[in-house]
Amino acid sequence: MSRIGRTPIPVPAGVDVTIAEGPATVHVTVKGPKGTLERDLPRDIRVRRADDGQLLVERPDDERAHRALHGLTRSLVNNMVVGVTTGFRKDLEIVGVGYRAIAKGPTTIELAVGYSHPVIIEAPAGVTFEVPLPTRLSVLGSNKEDVGQVAADIRAVRKPEPYKGKGIRYAGEVVRRKAGKAAK
């Protein structure tokens, strides 16, 4: 049995979880201090509340498709609970002479990363930006998927290149450097 799927999901105080079973899917709604998240889950995987208030994710049998969805469903529901309580954060670093980020409000940033024009990025609903330093940038939100996708989109504006290491990278990301041309 899946070790991740078997683990119960703790529900902290102040978080309300609603499970509505439909004909083809199970609709889970999680409300907490940082917002509300909703998701449709496969009908075969069962999410229920235990006697001690924790959530349990169960599968009907050991069929291959059910085994594949068991741990995934548990992780998705757990990420919803964590998102509405503490939220998620992705930190990015900007490396390069003259490269910087400028905050134009909590949901808009302007990037100067070596192009002839500034790159303006708007955050989708539920995602905000923080720019503590011109070379540091944080993406914040309650939905883990949205935070990760926005951070990946920002990194894709100017990926770190292997010769000088210039570009936008995740905090702590190691960029493998190349030697460049051999001198004669």
Fold that domain 3-85 belongs to in CATH: Outer Surface Protein A; domain 3 (3.90.930)
> Taking residues 131-157, what's their average pLDDT?
95
The pLDDT tens digits of the residues spanning 2-61 come to 688 889 999 999 999 999 988 888 999 999 999 999 999 988 888 989 888 899 999 999
The reply to whether domains 3-85 and 88-170 share a CATH topology is yes
Domain 88-170: CATH superfamily is Ribosomal protein L6 (3.90.930.12)
Q: What is the pLDDT of residue 147?
A: 96
Is residue 149 pLDDT above 60, yes or no?
yes
The pLDDT tens digits of the residues spanning 80-139 come to 999 999 999 999 999 999 999 999 999 999 999 999 999 999 999 999 999 999 999 999
Is residue 180 pLDDT above 90, yes or no?
no
Q: What is the pLDDT of residue 1?
A: 55
Q: What is the pLDDT of residue 183?
A: 61
Q: What is the pLDDT of residue 77?
A: 94
Q: What is the pLDDT of residue 24?
A: 84
| Cα dihedral 67, 27, 74, 15 in deg (nearest 10) | -170
Region of residue 145 (left: phi > 0; alpha: psi -120 to 50; beta: else): alpha
Alpha carbon distances (Å) from 105 to 102, 128, 156? 9, 9, 22
| pTM for the whole structure | 0.89
Q: What is the pLDDT of residue 97?
A: 94
Domain coordinates in residue numbering, the chain: 3-85, 88-170
Is residue 184 pLDDT above 70, yes or no?
no
